[in-house]
Amino acid sequence: MGIGKRKKLYNTVLCQTFSSCGNFLFAGNNFGDVFIYSILDITETPSEEDVTKVAPSLEPIQVYNVTDVGHVQSMVFYKDFLIVGIPGEIRGYQWCEDSKKIKKKVWEIRIPNSYESIEAVDVNSLWLNEETDEVFLGCGDSRILGINLEGGQIMKTYAEHKDYIHCLSGLENRLYSASEDGSVKFWDLRQKKSIGSVEPYKNHELFRPQMGKWLGTVSCTENFFVCGGGPKASLWHTRTNECTTIYPFPGAVHVSGFNEDSVLLAGQNSNVIRYSLNGDISAEIPISSPATYSVIWQTAPTKIMSIAGAQNEIDICLNFNYKDILLKTYTNETPDV
């Protein structure tokens, strides 16, 4: 079996981001590749009257190899740079909007190993604080690192989790971290220690013993945060740290977010589900993948949601209620390299 065919068969998209202008979609996978799509090309469907327009392009405009020795585990977009997290480092790649291509790697910041490990540190999650030009890394050695992007220095280190970190979510000077240790910790980025935590698995209504205590995702707003993983997905009030809603999402939870006055959940399930804050189902979106690991969306300049996971295609929703388009990642023309 050629490498290209093997990649098509075992492809898993782990992370996604939009460009700063909102016109391009980037997706990173377990083979170290980044797929780039033009959102305008995807969504510009020709009308029956206009025969001059071509059908929307469902293939990537570029496939860029970041690493041959690890996954693209996380990514964010900062100004005109695509920042990717791979084992042992984060890298910045220059994006050229005119040519619609990643040009080259411009910088890299290596992640020092903690005392307990000699292996390269996984960068499972990235959260960008654009107001302070900092990016925060949720790492596989249980640390959170804050890096100043102007100088490239590690400015902050938070090391209170007892196992690796799956997800970071932030708002201004607040940061939330979800970990394999079963806790969500809250951080005031102006302080050196956490300011609180919750452990959903200790709530008998949330704990699912067959799935474990780990937490795969957390997302926050000014008044609420939602988290889930092995325990059931749940909504918590930020000021009281009280659980206000338990969501009946049936599988393990890998993705959460606040979308159009609803809570979006995805993971080990054939649907991405949107719930009202009180737990009623707002929409069920059937998807192509048996497991979802990344869902991102924007409302401007083009309204679009991209859903990716354990398959060779990416589901696109244009109205946030059902799947409209299926994007290809590896194609028959992908070289065996």
240 token code pair? 């009281």
Q: Is 225 exposed, middle or buried (0-12, 13-18, 19+ CB in 10 A)?
A: buried
Would you state the pLDDT for residue 51? 44
Pair 279, 303 in one domain: no
pTM equals: 0.94
On whether residue 263 sits in a domain, the answer given is yes
On whether residue 257 sits in a domain, the answer given is yes
Nearest to 179 by CA among 196, 168, 197, 164: 164
Pair 265, 228 in one domain: yes
> What are 270-292's pLDDT values in tens digits?
999 999 999 999 999 999 999 99
> What are 218-264's pLDDT values in tens digits?
999 999 999 999 999 999 999 999 999 999 999 999 999 999 899 99
CATH number at residue 265: 2.130.10.10
Domain limits at 317? 1-111+289-336
Pair 298, 242 in one domain: no
* Beta carbons within 8 Å of 122's beta carbon, 6+ residues apart: 73, 87, 139, 140, 141, 164
> Domain total for the chain?
2
Pair 194, 281 in one domain: yes
Would you state the pLDDT for residue 5? 82
205 token code pair? 């209504």
> What are 136-171's pLDDT values in tens digits?
999 999 999 999 999 999 999 999 999 999 999 999
pLDDT band at 113 (very low <50, low <70, confident <90, very high): confident
On whether residue 152 sits in a domain, the answer given is no
Pair 197, 270 in one domain: yes
On whether residue 253 sits in a domain, the answer given is yes
User: Is residue 105's pLDDT more than 80?
Assistant: yes
At 58, is the secondary structure helix, strand, or coil? coil
Would you state the pLDDT for residue 54? 46
